[in-house]
Amino acid sequence: MTSLPPNLKRIVDKFKRHTNPKQRYEQLLWYGKKLSELPEEVKIPENKVHGCVSQVYIIAQLNEDKIIYQGDSDAQLVKGLVALLIEGLNGLTPAEILQVTPDFIQETGLDVSLTPSRANGFYNIFQLMKKKALQLTMDN
């Protein structure tokens, strides 16, 4: 496993401290509450995460070679997953983001707590974030 970016590692470590699935969910909900809402005009098909039961949108922009993500979901737990990924990946270069593999979710212990459709949604959110990172490198 590749080493995680510092912010993502800190989040993983935070979740590792919670052995109880309920505490992990509460932690996830807490992340979701920190997420600011996305304006309606960016909730377009290109920003929508496909293969997710809930409505999830991710936008990304390049700021001095670092990617800044924003996202939102209509489901609280999924919103927490979005927030976790945003906090973990924001401020990295596209190359750094492309090196991150989704297996860190197992380290958080969340993979066992997530329903198959939520786990699948998590991977789809993560893949869209990587795709947007790649697109931003090609646009420049």
> Could you confirm whether 52 is annotated as catalytic?
yes
The type of residue at 92 is L
What is the C-alpha separation between 33 and 5, in angstroms, rounded? 23
* Phi and psi angles of residue 60, each rounded to the nearest 5 degrees, phi first: -145, 145
Element (H, E) at 134: helix 116-139
Q: Active-site residue among 11, 12, 35, 52?
A: 52
Give the catalytic positions in this structure: 52
